[in-house]
Chains A and B, each alone.
Chain A
Amino acid sequence: MSRPSDPVDRTRWDEEVRAVRDAGATFFDLLTAVDLEADGFEVVLHLWDPTARQGHLLRTRCPRDDAQVPSLVEVFAGAGWHERAVAELFGITFAGHDTQALLLAESFQGHPLRKDFVLASRVAKQWPGAKDPGESDADLTTKRRRPQPPGTPTGWGRP
């Protein structure tokens, strides 16, 4: 199992990953990111050491208004795919890598895995739980305070 190590300073991100790779963690498993809201973004990398059967979970952080970390394509060529996905979904720039669009439609606006991104389906669709026992859609027109969907920020969804 891999224990998360302390976040690496982003200026040393590629050096640090290279050092871990050269020490035996040659299998690139996963690169993704976490939106920490006010604390910026955390880029998470999981590597596997096939001989020691040991995982390495490396992390680095970047602030929200300067979402940029060094690219790992020079260390692991396969990281390119993951960086393209993270760049598109989180809006993080990977210095030294031309992260062209990978998943979303060309016309898509915004970065859907950022926590401040409003999911269109959560706004367009009426929450089925807003109805109380004994009510149907027609009763939803009555004005009164209704239960809010769990996990959606206030202000989302229909008034």
Chain B
Amino acid sequence: MTPYEQGMAVLRAAQGPLPVRSRGIIALLEENCTVCMLCARECPDWCIEIDSHKETLPPRTERGRPRVLHVLDRFAIDFALCMWCGICVEVCPFDALFWSPEFEHATTDAGALVHEREQLREWLATVPVPPALDPAAEPPPERVAADKRTRERRTPG
């Protein structure tokens, strides 16, 4: 353990867990990314770089049509430009970006602040579970839809 790590351990023990909504760094769940480019286009700092290519899937049925899929080649966030506004996290329609409370990513090399997809995925492990909904809140739409399907299956007709 370096003296820095020792110091940070003391600090963390003293402050307790960070608030769930802390804006430490942005994590990427690649599986959810459809390469829609919304985050890169909304980013006021132009700090998200996305490269992708098209792949054609053969038709699944005999009369079906081939489908075109966008495959992610590169997803990088330049944290030297990022201003922690969180617009990319909010604008993502597929929940591919998350705030992680981890804040220890300082470096002496500005180039190292460009976090590529591998590193963005590592931050994903540090994303906390979102807080539970308010007891009086409406149920999440996913659950409403799932319950509806279950009821329909039980009452055939």
Contacts and interface: CB of A to CB of B under 8 A. Distances in A.
A128 B47 CA distance: 8
A7 interface: no
Interface in A97-141: 125, 127-129, 131-137
A29 to B, nearest CB: 24
Interface stretch (A8-16, A77-85, A147-155): A147-155
Interface centre among A129, A132, A137 (most CB of B within 10 A): A129
B12 interface: no
Contacts of B74: 136
Main secondary structure of the interface of A (DSSP, over half): loop
B46 A128 contact: yes
Contacts of B42: 129, 150
A128 B48 contact: yes
A131 B37 contact: yes
A40 B68 CA distance: 52
Contacts of B44: 151
Contacts of B68: 134
Contacts of A133: 34-37, 52, 70
A115 to B, nearest CB: 16
A47 to B, nearest CB: 29
Nearest to A152: B46
A151 B43 CA distance: 11
B149 to A, nearest CB: 30
B52 A129 contact: no
Nearest to B74: A136
B40 A134 contact: no
B52 A135 contact: yes
Interface of B: 34-37, 40-44, 46-54, 68, 70-71, 73-74
14 contacts: A125-B46, A127-B46, A128-B43, A128-B46, A129-B43, A131-B37, A131-B40, A131-B50, A131-B51, A134-B53, A135-B52, A136-B51, A136-B53, A136-B73
Interface of A: 125, 127-129, 131-137, 147, 149-151
Of all A-B residue pairs in the complex, the 3 with the closest CB atoms, nearest first, are A129-B41, A136-B51, A134-B54
